[in-house]
Amino acid sequence: MFQFFTAPTQDAGGLDAVTLTHAGFYAVMTLIAVLVVAALALRPKTERAKGITTKQLVFSAAAMALGTVTSMIKFADLPMGGSITLFSMLFIVLIGHWYGAKIGITTAVAYGLLQFILQPVFYTLPQVIVDYPLAFGALGISGFFRGRKNGLVLGYAAAVLGRYFFAFLSGMIFFGAFAADYNMSIPVYSLSYNAMYLFPEAALTVAVLCVAPVKNALTRIRRIAVEPQRRQTAV
């Protein structure tokens, strides 16, 4: 059955890999849609009663779209995956910052699957799960810092560390064979490789977030994103 959704291919380095068939592509797209709907269903009852479903959907979709577009603007692209992008992680972190961990993590998992179908070349199913739903899903843990002082910066740092953990795990399990090419142990190789693209982007993003005009602008956007929609009354 797995072969119905995948087909053999080669990666950029000529190694044997797997890609999605049309059926696999549509299956992943369906899963993304289910996750987005699930994210809305996970809202607390108090928020559902305020009637802000449409606003949450619009803001979450806009953040995912911006995250996808900026992920394609790369300052550096590493050979075995991973790149320094134009603040792409920040836009996904914002969803958790606005709406909490449940919606943040669920939407971030959907974003991870979206990243997967943009470049659907992989080696094993466990590797896909660790590299995409788990690694990108970790960006949603920013929601645990919602409402705290400097919650966006703290949430962003925690989210990046969460993604770094799963990227390190993937490097240890699935890409450790490449460590010998650099005369490194597998743990050191995975730690170093994944730090090369995650931490420079994270440092630049945190620096920008600390700029007063940017901080104030994001505060205003958050206020708009979370405030209840006002129902118009008949005259």
Count the Cβ atoms, other than its own, within 10 Å of residue 68.
16
Q: Which regions of the chain does DSSP assign to beta strands (E)? A: 6-10, 16-20, 74-77, 83-85, 121-122
CA–CA distance, 97 with 100 (Å, rounded to integer):
6
Res 5: pLDDT? 87
The SS3 call for residue 186 is helix
pLDDT tops 70 at residue 7: yes
How large a percentage of the chain has pLDDT more than 70? Answer: 90
The 10 Å Cβ neighbour count of residue 16 is 9
Q: Which helix (H) or strand (E) holds 187?
A: helix 186-209
Query: Over the stretch 84-121, which tens digit does the pLDDT of each residue have?
Result: 999 999 999 999 999 999 989 999 999 999 999 998 98
pLDDT at 124 over 50: yes
Contact 139, 155 (CB under 8 A): no
**pLDDT tens profile 40-65:** 676 666 555 554 467 888 888 899 99
User: In this structure, are strands 6-10 and 83-85 parallel, antiparallel, or unpaired?
Assistant: unpaired
Q: Radius of gyration of the chain from Cα atoms?
A: 19
Q: What is the pTM of this model?
A: 0.88
Upper half-sphere CA count for residue 54 (Cβ side, 13 Å): 5
- CB-based contact 114:32 (threshold 8 Å): yes
Q: Which domains, ranges and CATH numbers included, belong to the chain? A: 2-226 (1.10.1760.20)
